Amino acid sequence: MSFSIALAGKGGTGKTTMAGFLIRYLVDNDKIPVLAVDADANANLNEVLGLEVSETLGDAREEMKKGVASGITKDIFIEMKLQEAIVEASGFDLIVMGRPEGSGCYCAANALLTIYLDKLMNNYAFMVIDNEAGMEHISRLTTNNIDILLVISDPTRRGIQAAARIVELTDELGLNIGRKQLIINQEKKGQKEGIDRSIQEYELDLVGIVPEDTELQEFDLNGRPTVELDKDNKALKASYEIFDRIFN
């Protein structure tokens, strides 16, 4: 059974970048193999990781709804599509959930995907799920428990309030989560006092703060995979220190 880490946060907080850093950290520390799952409707984890994606599980759901070829069962079709959607890399694999484009019921396809995703996860030591702000993807598409939920927020009171709402949503959905921890990203000088006040107000478990970094911003603007940042990069170093506290 994989040790699962899910990341969530509102748009613009650097959640996907942090997911990429975490995957790199696990590989660098020989915590492999890792299954990276992009469950965000705005899927771009592959860009952070420098990978090309041609198939998503959303594509498989669309095809199955239209009907599979004669002589092949739905079970075999979904398992085949799941294997086709896996992008292999050094120390980790990536799979993109995608989202169905058409209308109608995807219940049968989702049920089969749940079964085969669960089987797939057993082949990995760690699973990193880059999720959207809402946690419905996890409750719909996997039956595994979540060991750690990392909520990523910017250093504003409004951002930390949004993070608190995400934590509340996990309770409403009845998700079984071992730890729920907050990472503040893109901190500027002079913001620490305000961060501390908001953390106390919303009673969140802060595990670390990542400073704003111009080099990281330049990578994003130029479309360069952020996992290629030098190990001396201050945002990457701060992230690794946070992950050390989480896993050691």
Task: Give the pLDDT confidence score for residue 10 in this predicted structure.
Answer: 87
Give DSSP secondary structure letters for the chain: --EEEEEE--TTS-HHHHHHHHHHHHHHTT---EEEEEE-SS--HHHHHT------HHHHHHHHHH-PPTT--HHHHHHHHHHHHPEE-SSEEEEE-----S-S--HHHHHHHHHHHHHHHTT-SEEEEEE-SS-HHHHHH--S-EEEEEEEE-SSHHHHHHHHHHHHHHHHTT--EEEEEEEEEEEPTT-HHHHHHHHHHHT--EEEEEE--HHHHHHHHTT--GGGS-TT-HHHHHHHHHHHHHH-
Task: Give tens-digit pLDDT for 33-47.
Answer: 999 998 877 789 999
Task: Give the pLDDT confidence score for residue 144 in this predicted structure.
Answer: 53
* Domain at 3-247, CATH class: alpha beta
Question: Rounded mean pLDDT of 114-129?
Answer: 85
Task: Give tens-digit pLDDT for 143-182.
Answer: 457 899 999 999 999 999 999 999 988 888 888 899 999 9
Q: Where are the domains of the chain?
A: 3-247
